[in-house]
Amino acid sequence: MGNMIPSINLHLTKKCNMKCKYCFAGFSEIQKEIDFKETKKLLIELKNFGFEKVNFVGGEPLLIAKLIELLQISRDLGFYISVTTNGTLITDSFLRKAEQLIDMIGISIDSLDENTNYKIGRVWNKKPLNYLFYNNFINMIKSTNINLKINTVVSLLNKEENFSDFINTSNPERWKVFQVLKIENENNINFSNFEISTKDFDYFCKKHQIALMNKNILIKEENQIIRGSYLMVNPEGKFFDNELGYYNCSEKILSIGVKKALSQIYYSYSKFKKRNGDFYHNNIKIAV
């Protein structure tokens, strides 16, 4: 694909069972999401164009009733498949169905402390998530052949927290550490309550890098590397970018085709490579 980013973040829905206060994927302006048939057609179009990896995200992707069917379609097409979730809807039943369909599950863990999770908005069934919940979730994943990724957003609320023991024990395939990112019309209200400097973010990453037993797993993503390093599709079926601090969207991919839609957004292959976005490349399963 030359200098094309070969990995897609496919936001299946804006629906979520949490209200994280600095979430940048609320898609408040979207009224109608594409349906199952359109999503299936979109996956085929993306694969035919040459994309290699699809990451199902949201909102919360496990709220999609036909997620297993979409995973099966993606497996049949030959994608490397990942799902990013808050973990609350993962069950043994889901994992049994999905074990042969998912290469990696990413879970968002911004704090191990109940009080901090409450302030963030990581609350489910009126209870903030905690260390025990995440530990149980990780043990569930470790009992399968699915690789584990942990995503952590660093903000003013958790920048002093120490995740070292937890990460060493969990030993994920990847630990992606993000500087909290401001997006206009998504999370810009009261963003000063969460914003941290690049200096503080660097310090968080350095102190953890020193303490990690497997130092290769930490993937550091400050704001300048996040912007433009992802190819993303919103719940309307449009490519979008965040290069200028707000979402710039293409026309609908299924209406104008992948190539033309891509010409309407910004992306940086060099940034994608810098954050090791093609880590999966040698693990793509060939469709049969």
pLDDT tens track for 135-177: 999 999 999 999 999 999 999 999 999 999 999 999 999 999 9
- Is position 260 within any domain? yes
Mean pLDDT of 260-285: 89
The full DSSP string for 26-58 is --TT------HHHHHHHHHHHHHHT--EEEEES
Mean pLDDT of 273-285: 81
Cβ 178 vs Cβ 170: under 8 Å: no
- Is position 112 within any domain? yes
Band of residue 13 on the pLDDT scale cut at 50, 70, 90: very high
State residue 283's pLDDT score: 62
CATH of the domain at 156: 3.20.20.70
State residue 79's pLDDT score: 97
* Alpha carbons 174 and 193: distance in angstroms, whole number: 28
**Per residue in 15-41, pLDDT tens?**
999 999 999 999 988 989 999 999 999
Mean pLDDT of 218-231: 96
State residue 287's pLDDT score: 41
Q: Dihedrals φ, ψ of 167, to 5°?
A: -70, -40
**Residue 200 host element (H or E):** helix 198-211
Mean pLDDT of 270-282: 89
Q: What is the mean pLDDT of the chain?
A: 95
- Sheet containing 104-108: order of strands: 218-221, 174-179, 147-154, 104-108, 80-85, 53-57, 7-11, 231-233, 238-241, 248-252
Question: What percent of the chain shows pLDDT beyond 90?
Answer: 94
State residue 3's pLDDT score: 86
State residue 281's pLDDT score: 74
- Is position 284 within any domain? no
State residue 28's pLDDT score: 83
State residue 29's pLDDT score: 86
Range of the domain at 85: 7-279
State residue 104's pLDDT score: 97
Lowest model confidence (mean pLDDT) among 82-86, 112-116, 185-189: 185-189
DSSP H helix total and E strand total for the chain: 11, 12
**pLDDT, greater one: 149 or 2:** 149
Task: Answer whether residue 260 shows pLDDT above 60.
Answer: yes
Q: How far is CA 167 from the centre of its chain?
A: 18
C-alpha distance from residue 85 to each of 109, 168, 268 (Å):
10, 21, 25
Q: Is the preceding peptide bond at 106 cis, omega within 30 degrees of 0?
A: no
Task: Answer whether residue 213 shows pLDDT above 90.
Answer: yes
What is the count of structural domains for the chain?
A: 1
* Alpha carbons 158 and 148: distance in angstroms, whole number: 22
**pLDDT, greater one: 4 or 67:** 67
- Is position 262 within any domain? yes
* Alpha carbons 96 and 263: distance in angstroms, whole number: 40
Task: Answer whether residue 1 shows pLDDT above 90.
Answer: no
**Per residue in 60-82, pLDDT tens?**
999 999 999 999 999 999 999 99
- Is position 76 within any domain? yes
Mean pLDDT of 221-247: 96
- Is position 287 within any domain? no
Task: Answer whether residue 284 shows pLDDT above 70.
Answer: no
Cβ 287 vs Cβ 78: under 8 Å: yes
pTM as predicted: 0.95
- Is position 285 within any domain? no
- Is position 121 within any domain? yes
Q: Scanning the structure block, which residue is given the tokens 């797993």?
A: 217
